[in-house]
Structure 1
Amino acid sequence: MPAQENTTLKTEYADKVRADLERNRSEQERIRAEIETLQAQLATLESDHALLESMSAALGDETAAAVPAPRRGRKTAGTTPAKKTTVTKTAAAARKTAVTKTAAKKSAAKTAVQKPADTVPPLTDLIHQHLSGQSEPRTAREIATALAETHPTRNISDNLVRTTTERLVARSRVERAKQGSTVYYTAIKTETAPGPAEETTAAAS
């Protein structure tokens, strides 16, 4: 295998590892955010539970802590039937509210979990898109500076941008030009490339 091809393969593997690391970090941040949301939900449920227990104790319902719901037909000592009905309705209303809140929070958490994890566009696409919108060639440092401003949460360095842009050059998506010791990059417009029909016509002529 030629040395240049070996170097290109190593560069591509290194870029893939960097991209995987970046995706891994993004996934960790997403999961940490979900854990914090679930912990907040758990804290709310525990607070609601403590409040319901306090209400139950204040109302004199000693069986509420032992069973999930008030039992029908069971009389509480020192409580008249009318008061028992009031206690049952109050506890049922409070429980219904807590269940509704829990269901809504679970639905929101499920929706958050089902969101695609990989929503960040690849660096190659960002670079090509940036160069396509420029009227003049750009250096790797200029590209990195512009992308760092528009994507402050991403880890973008000059070396990473230079290596990734060279991959685009190898794929004929970006053109490289050297002036002195400075290398400039320009996006190749894909729509100007001749199609199969045009190539066949040119070959026939």
Structure 2
Amino acid sequence: MTAQENTTLKAAYAGKVAADLAENTAEQDRIRAEIETLQTQLATLETDHALLESVSAALGDTTGAVPAPRRATKKTAAVAKKPAAKKPAAKKPADAVAPAKKTGAKKETKKATTVAAKKTAATTGGAKEANTGADKGPALTELIHAHLSSQSEPRTAREIAKALADANPGRNVNDNLVRTTTERLVARSRVDRVKQGSTVYYTAKADAAPAVSGPAEKATVAAS
């Protein structure tokens, strides 16, 4: 093999190696982007799951093995028998008992719902954040969308969290919660998501539709 042929062969190998390296690097970038997206989606699902579990546990503590309306029916039926015994002249004692059962069942159901709401607010951090948003100001999704709408440039989740924490010192705002909530807005087509390198930027859409509560938010409101 001549020196010229050896040089040509080396150049061919070098070109092939460079192309393989570029392809490998691009594939790594693609997989990293997919992993980050899946991690964000997983965090959202985990947050929703924790909220739903806490609501389910709170409801389970109040209802017990026998539904509250059944316990109320037995109790009110026993009480309703006393006036019927004192007034034997009543023609339809069954009619007097039936309203008592219905009224007692409503009271017990209302009481069970109130207790469940209090336990949920006290034992779940996510439910507490949702209730705080409903009592003291707009929902976190609306705060995030309003902040992004007022910005002239895209913002990261950390920048959004810092701005909201400064503007709302009484609310529980952190990077992970803001990132998860903003991803929900992306899923609802209210916010655009752009990735530059390893950093994700968010921009509000001007023609976004009104917010629709997600599963976890609906469960929290139902418990309230």
Q: TM-score, normalised by structure 2?
A: 0.38
More helix by share: 2
State TM-score, norm by structure 1.
0.40
